[in-house]
Structure 1
Amino acid sequence: MYIEVMKSKIHRVTVTQAELHYIGSVTIDEDLMDAANFVENEKVTIVNVNNGERFETYTIRGQRGSGTICLNGPAARKVAVGDVVIIFSYGFVDFAEARQHKPTVIFPNEHNRLA
C-alpha cells in the first residue's frame, strides 16, 4: 500500500507579488525551490497564514536570489502582497517506507532568503 506524505515545505515566506492576469501558478525564487527540493511544474498546496485560504497550484522558477514569491492567475485573489504563506508538496511512498521518510523543510528569513 502507498500513502501520501509531505515531501517538501517552505515554511513562512512573504508574498512579494500577485499577478491576476497570468495563466496561473506560483513563481518561487529558484534558490528556495532548490533548497526545498521542489521541481518546476510540481503541484503544491499553499496556506495563507493571514487569511486562512488554502489552495493548490504548481511551481514556476523565479529569478535566483530575488526572494520572489508571486501568486499568478486566480490564486492572486487568495493573497495580498505582504501576506505570509506556507508552501508544501506531497509524494506517495510505500507504507513501510513512510515510517522512515523525512521531508525537506526550509525556514527562509523575513526577506525570503536562506540564512
Structure 2
Amino acid sequence: MPHNITVLKSKLHNATVTHALKDYEGSVALSQDLIDLGKFRLHEQVHLWNITQGTRLITYVMKHEGEEGGIICVNGAAAHLANPGDRIILATFAEIDSGESWEPHLVIMNDDNLEA
C-alpha cells in the first residue's frame, strides 16, 4: 500500500559561510545564484549542517540583498552556530509517494561557493 515518505530534495555540500549576523531576523540568506543552484525556494525550510563545528539547525531560505555571488549569510540565533569560513551542508527535503522513483539534486561546492 503506497504511503508518503520524506526524501532528500536538494543539497549544497561543502559550501562556505561568508557572513554571520547575530543581530538580525533569523534565517539563512543566500545570493540568487546559490538559490538557483540548490533549487531552493524562498521561505523553504532548510537544514544547515555545520561540518566545521559539528552543529545542526533548521531555518528557512531568504534572498541575500546586496552583494552577489556565492553569499551564505547565517542570521539571528543561528549565527551562534556558524561562523564565516565554516564549511556547511544545506539540505531540503520533500514528501513523495513511496512508490515514486526519486533522485535528489546534489551539488558539491568548491572553496569559492561555486559548483566543483
| Cα pair 2:34 2:71 within 8 Å, conserved | no
**Which is further off, 3-12 or 55-64?**
55-64
RMSD: 1.4
Q: TM-score, normalised by structure 2?
A: 0.91
Query: What residue is the counterpart of 1:75 in the other structure?
Result: 78
What amino acid maps onto 2:80 in structure 1? R
Which whole-Å CA distance do the structure 2 matches of 1:62 and 1:108 have between them?
19
Q: Deviations over 1:63-105 (max 9, x none)?
A: 58421011000000001111000000100000001xx201111
Q: Deviations over 1:40-64 (max 9, x none)?
A: 1000001000111010000012258
Counterpart check, 1:110 vs 2:104? no
| Cα pair 2:29 2:64 within 8 Å, conserved | yes
> Whose helix proportion is higher, 1 or 2?
1
Query: What residue is the counterpart of 1:19 in the other structure?
Result: 21
| Cα pair 1:29 1:66 within 8 Å, conserved | yes
| Cα pair 1:12 1:84 within 8 Å, conserved | yes
Which whole-Å CA distance do the structure 2 matches of 1:112 and 1:25 have between them?
19
Q: TM-score, normalised by structure 1?
A: 0.92
Unaligned runs of 5+ in 2: none
2:70 alignment partner, SS class: coil
Alignment of 1:1-115 (within 5 A): 1-62=3-64, 65-97=68-100, 100-114=101-115
Stretches (4+) displaced over 4 A:
none
Unaligned runs of 5+ in 1: none
* 1:58–1:33 distance in 2 versus 1, CA, 3 Å: same
Query: Identity rate of aligned residues, in percent?
Result: 36
2:99 alignment partner, SS class: helix
What amino acid maps onto 2:92 in structure 1? S
